[in-house]
Structure 1
Amino acid sequence: MQPSDRDEIRDLLKRTAVALKQSDVPFALCGGYAAWVRGAPEPDHDADFLVPAAEAERAAKVLAAAGLEVVDPAEDWLTKVVQGNSFVDVLWRTCGQPVEQELIDRAEELSVLSVHMPVLEATDIVVTKLMTLDEHYCDYARLLPVARALREQVDWTRVRREVEANDFAVVFLVLLDRLGIVEQPVTQG
């Protein structure tokens, strides 16, 4: 990514957050930029926000009213905010499930590029990233730096419980143990 692209994404991230904040739309920064705020490497692609499924339509209207270019992609679980070659995804479903207000409520207010906004907590960041893993997308190389950077902020017991049905996520947790990043719990047998 070119430095100008990163600046463009950062600007769009801030403008999206401010528009949602000013209209009292519940939201939280998630994905790679949420991990970055918490110490992971800066992502080289888009930024992502979550809004409760019940607020999806209102969020799109608020963003358009703020002068942002809003695009409805073919996917039926997000809206894109576009600026130049950059975009921000505003998701109301993640991992196939509607975003619930409870997930947004757990977010922590943090300063992101000089704008205070709710940022998904580290455990929820890791869970949502792990739950995207499947036979079509299984990129552990992108997840390792995130897990390493956030490891002390994460409730790994909760992560294990919430991802136990996803074999790709479970294998990643074994990998973290084998690499000495996070220890697996000892099971009694």
Structure 2
Amino acid sequence: MQPTPSPRDRVRDLLKRTAVALKQGEVPFALCGGYAAWVRGAPEPDHDADFLVPAAEAERAAKALVDAGLQVVDPAEDWLLKVERDDVFVDVLWRTCGRPAEIDLVERAEVLPVLSVQMPVMDPTDILVTKLMALDEHYCDFGRMLPVARALREQVDWAEVARQVATNDFAVVFLTLLERLGIVPAVSPA
């Protein structure tokens, strides 16, 4: 008898299946969020995986996933869908930080091996920008952000991050914390 796969193993499997389905459907996409950061050296997330598709490709992405035999769930939110299997899920997003995802986020992604599957992985600067712009008074967990920032620090254009997050006070405070801890040099918006 084979051992039951752990939740992390099931997320990894679904991440690969989702990427392959999007590739086969010729849908432009990028791995984003915690697993994109993990591929680039951050700690592995302990929950779901996330993919980004341009907003204009959302319907085509859903069709490609269904055509691949994956279970697609349409949640109440109007900016993502969920792929579910074996009590784990993968999110496919077409909006980040309240804005429609544009093709440029996907075009800046770099194709990298992820768990033996070649797939586009979001640019490190974009990873940090999207994570920081998600900070608000309801979700402001700097403890989860610190290991990601430390792991990606040499891969990120910090002046560009500062420029893009300048309107989010929580993100600006986090950048100040990174500077004070000596994780990144002092940055000002470009």
TM over 0.5: yes
SS of corresponding position for 1:29: strand
Partner of 1:80: 82
Partner of 2:28: 26
Distance in 2 (alpha carbons) for counterparts of 1:173 and 1:86 = 33
2:125 pairs with 1:91: no
Alpha-carbon distance between aligned partners in 1 of 2:185 and 2:16, rounded to the nearest angstrom:
36
Structure 1 residue 48 corresponds to structure 2 residue 50: yes
Residue number among 123, 140, 147 corresponding to 1:138 in the alignment: 140
Secondary structure of 1:136's partner? coil
Q: How many residues align?
A: 186
Structure 2 length-normalised TM: 0.96
Cα–Cα, structure 1 residues 186 and 134, in superposed 2: closer, same or farther, change >3 Å? closer
SS at match of 1:56: helix
Structure 1 residues 159-180: Cα deviation after superposition (integer angstroms, max 9, x where no partner): 0000000000000000001111
- Matches of 2:83 and 2:75, distance apart in 1: 10
Cα separation, 2, equivalents of 1:111 and 1:5: 21
Structure 1 residue 114, shift from structure 2 partner = 0.3
Q: TM-score, normalised by structure 1?
A: 0.96
Match of 2:65 among 45, 63, 66: 63
Q: Shift of the alpha carbon at 1:67?
A: 0.6
Q: Give the CA deviation at 1:186.
A: 7.4
Indicate the SS of the match to 1:133.
coil
- In the alignment, the residues of structure 1 paired with residue 50 and residue 155 of structure 2 have an alpha-carbon distance, to the nearest angstrom, of 20
Unaligned runs of 5+ in 1: none
Unaligned runs of 5+ in 2: none
Q: Summarize the Cα distance change of 1:98–1:48 in structure 2 as closer, same or farther, 3 Å threshold.
A: same
After TM superposition, give the deviation of residue 85 of structure 1 in Å: 1.5
1:37 corresponds to 2:42? no
Percent of aligned pairs with the same amino acid: 75
The 2-side partners of 1:186 and 1:150 are apart by: 18
Deviation string, structure 1 residues 25-44 (Cα, Å, up to 9, x no partner): 00000000000000000000
CA RMSD for the aligned pairs?
Answer: 1.3
Instruction: Give the secondary-structure state (helix, strand or coil) at the position aligned to 2:64.
Output: helix
Instruction: Supply the distance in 2 between the matched residues of 1:58 and 1:131 (Cα, whole angstroms).
Output: 27
Which residue of 152, 159, 162 maps to 2:161? Answer: 159
Tell me by how many angstroms 1:185 deviates.
Answer: 3.4
Deviation digits for residues 109-130 of structure 1 (CA, Å, limit 9, x no counterpart)? 0000000000001000000000
State the match for 2:15 in structure 1: 13
Shift of 1:3: 6.4
Counterpart secondary structure, 2:92: strand
